[in-house]
Each structure stands twice: as structure tokens, then as C-alpha cells.
Chains A and B, each alone.
Chain A
């Protein structure tokens, strides 16, 4: 009979007490002398409800892309009717607090940075705009406009001085611009024009997954990776979608909810990215579109959006490693 050492090249650890579990110990098998059982660390992922936002709205990409599950902001947005929302809110892991409004009220804009150091750009007022505003944790200050005014764009970046603005409308666009804290400059386009794509990572290493390919409820499975100078097509999504939320890094991320053709049906589908391929993961509880997301693959959140009406709901995604006893059946 083949034994464990023959397959894996090492013996199973003998422990007098349980190992401390973390994502680094996923799959680690050991024998617990205390319990006289074989045990293994198994990743458990789940969504739970977070605090409700004060103002329900469609967030689009107006979120702190480098925010965390316990320190995030959502910026401006839309309620139909009455229209664009100026309101900005900050999340501390349990509740949302209103903070200073943006100067130019708009929707369909994108943002990058953290909850205290962010940049908010583009969007739609009564037309597409290139307006850029920086947040320093206290107030908003206008900065240099995007070279190409557009809405339904996406963005990511770790600070207010290192961000990328990806794709967008009014004419369906593959344009990508890079921000240095003062001005925007055009860099290499996406291979496929896809407004409402899901972008996460940094200004130097990012993913742009899915997005819109035509008017109305269209979407693509295409997925592109950014290395700071060019975009390369990498593993496709398991299901085409647009207008969902994305968060994480170039090698480890999540996209959640959004709309999936045919039709503009809102989906609870969530997918995880491991740096080479996407897989379907545990679904969000409430299907919605135009929601914001921030955080990491291990601890993220989604908030707001449109569920048929505007939503103030937050869901928190958490990945933990728990011990399971190995049985023979």
C-alpha cells in the first residue's frame, strides 16, 4: 500500500497540541496526540453582513481600491431618482460614517487609494467629465483632469499619487491613463475595450476582468493583466459579467455580483483569482450591480449598488483556515 511519505516525500507531523492555523497552513496534515486524530487545515470562505451605509446608492467604482475590510470609503454615486449623490462615507469594520462631500457631484466615476489617501476621477454629471479630486483624510482638493473625459471607467492604485484609470464610456473605450499625483498621462490601452470592467491591484500590477462589450446587458469573460507598461490577456472568467465589484491584488483577488447577460439580471456570482485562473467561490447574499468593493482576497467587502432599488447593504468576505478531523468515510 502506498503511504503518505511515498506520495509527499515526508512524514505526517506528530503534534502534542493543535497547530495554529493561518492561510499559510492550508492543507497541512498532522496527527494530534491530544485528540488521537489526524487533522487538516481547511480554508473556509463566507460572506456576512456588514453595517448598512447611511445613504443607499449605486457606488460604481467609487471606492478606496486599496482600502481594507475595516478601513474603506465609498464616494458619491447615484440614486434614480433624484440623481447624483455627493455623499462620501467611511467604514470602520462595523459602521459607516459620513465624511466630507466631493466638490463635483457625479456618478460612474472611479477611485483609488486608501480610506485616508485617495483619488476620485472621471464620472458623469450631465455629461462625461474628467474631473479629478484628491482626498487626504479630511477634505477633497481638485487636481489635474483626465486627458479623456469618461464615465463607467474603473480604477485602482495604492495611494492618491499612484493610480490608473481604465476604459470607460462615452465612446466605448480601451484607454488607460496613469496618475502621478498631479496629472494624468496616457499609457498602453487594454486589448479589449470594456467599460464597467472590474479592476484591482496597484498602478504597477493590476487585473482588469470582464466588463461591457456593447450597449446594454453585454459582458465579456476576458481578463487582462497589467505589468506597469502593457496589458496581457490571461485566464478568462468562469462567467461573463460587468458592473460588479473587484478587490485584491494582481495575483489574488475577487470579483463579486454585477450583471450577467443575457438580460441585465443581477447575479450573486463571485469568482476568485489565484494569479493564473478564476474559480467560482461562495456567492454573495444579495445580487446587485454598480456596487463598490475593497480589501483583499482574505478579507474584503462590497457595499451599496442596485438590487432593483438602491442598496445600503454591506457584505464582508472573510477567508479563514479551520481544523477538520480526517475520517475514513
Chain B
């Protein structure tokens, strides 16, 4: 039996998820990119309350592969932005000091 379901739903802020939601089902958010815009991606505990939450938030269910592709697209953009952000003569240490470490890829569960 699947442990998780996957979906996209825009985080609208206050009460988008509540304490009760977090106690009722697993929830982990990631940023994704659909080719045009950033989207809020969610890994949700696979139970009735998790499924109802995604439906109530007007979310769209995705497969794990689809959600991973969205998250990877966002990670690719972040890594490319980091690679392209350079200052002439800057050392590796100075670049990390200026920008922080190069973003890593996220693997969703």
C-alpha cells in the first residue's frame, strides 16, 4: 500500500494547513516549477484525511514521478542561477560566502 500521495496546491497562507492537519497526516512541502511558474508541491500521507485536505485546497493530484519532475525543474533553475551568478576574479570561497553553497537536488519520499 502506498505511504504517500502527491499533489500541487497553492499555499494561501494562514490556516492553509493547521495543527490538526499536521497531526492527522504526513505533510511535506517543496517548491516546483511547471515551465512557466513556481508551484507549491506537496507530499501527503496516504489516508482519507490527507486526500480530503488536498481536495479542499483545490489541489491537483500528481504521480510521484510528475511531482519529482516539478521539484527537479525548480532545483535546476536554482542551480543554474547559482552557476551564472559570478563576479570577475572571485574565488570559490568568496562565491560561497556571497551566495551560500550551491543548491542541491531534492529527492521526494
Contacts and interface: CB of A to CB of B under 8 A. Distances in A.
B101 A216 contact: yes
Contacts of A283: 28
Interface string B1-40: 0000000000111111111111100011111110000100
Nearest to B91: A215
A25 interface: no
A286 B28 contact: yes
B93 A215 contact: yes
B82 interface: yes
Nearest to A44: B23
A324 B66 CA distance: 41
A314 B13 contact: yes
Centre residue among A46, A80, A265, A307 by max chain B CB count within 10 A: A307
Nearest to B81: A80
Interface string A307-326: 11101011000100000000
Q: Is the interface of A mostly helix, strand, loop or mixed?
A: loop
B17 A48 contact: yes
A9 interface: no
16 contacts: A44-B19, A44-B23, A46-B19, A48-B15, A49-B14, A49-B16, A94-B14, A124-B98, A216-B102, A243-B100, A264-B102, A285-B29, A286-B28, A306-B100, A308-B31, A308-B77
Contact of A285 (B22, B78, B101, B106): B22
Contacts of B104: 217, 259, 263-266
Given A44-B23, A48-B17, A309 B85 contact: no
Interface of A: 44, 46-52, 80-81, 94-95, 124, 151-152, 169-170, 215-217, 243, 259, 263-266, 268, 282-283, 285-287, 289-290, 306-309, 311, 313-314, 318
A268 B27 CA distance: 11
Contacts of A264: 100-104
B34 to A, nearest CB: 12
A282 B11 contact: no
B14 A215 contact: no
A289 B99 CA distance: 12
